[in-house]
Amino acid sequence: MALTARRAVAIAWPGLLLGLFLATFRPSADGSPGAAASPPCEDDAPLGDLAGLERCLALDPEDVVLMTELGAAYESSGRADLAEGVYRRALAIDPRDGEVHVRLGRLLLARGDRAAAKTEGEAALRWQPGAEAAGALVAAAAGMPQ
């Protein structure tokens, strides 16, 4: 009887330990990506409010699309200086964004800086050849009738 129990233990312990090794080989999935969801900043729907845009931009400070939205929101709320700062940040990251060049150019034109506005319009045209908005900006900056 004692011998049988010993044999059972001899068979069981490596099997049990093997089970422990296999069970703990893969890490727990709790920390794996996608296990929890709170995606408002990753949503494609416009965030709408300034605070939400600022919060999301703080999470991903190089998101040019968010910067463009934030700049537009600043413009809508009459804070052109903040909008200009955001557009300039966006262009520092992606100098090929024609839309931001045009938006910044319009701000500069409204402020009376025609030369700078024209430069922005021309920069937009480099990436969007023939684009009407950029062409109109250049024309307006040059004082031509539209």
Report in angstroms the alpha-carbon separations of 33 from 5, 27, 29, 38, 63.
Answer: 46, 13, 8, 12, 21
Is 26 among the residues that bind other proteins (CB under 8 A)? yes
As a whole number of angstroms, the distance between CA 109 and CA 122 comes to 13
Q: Is the dihedral of CA 49, 91, 64, 57 positive or negative?
A: negative
Interface characters, 54-93, with other proteins (x: CB under 8 A)? ---------xxx--x------------------------x
Three-state secondary-structure class, residue 49: coil
CB of 77 to other proteins, least distance (A): 20
CB of 112 to other proteins, least distance (A): 26
Question: Total residues contacting other proteins (rule CB under 8 A)?
Answer: 48
Nearer to other proteins, 3 or 115 (CB): 3
Segment near other proteins (CB under 8 A), from 20-28, 77-85, 107-115, 138-146?
A: 20-28
Pairs from 117-124 (Cβ < 8 Å, separation ≥ 24): 117/141, 118/142, 123/95, 123/98, 124/98, 124/99
Nearer to other proteins, 60 or 81 (CB): 60
Residues that bind other proteins (CB under 8 A): 7, 10-11, 14-15, 17-18, 20-22, 24-39, 41-44, 63-65, 68, 93-94, 96-99, 127-133, 135
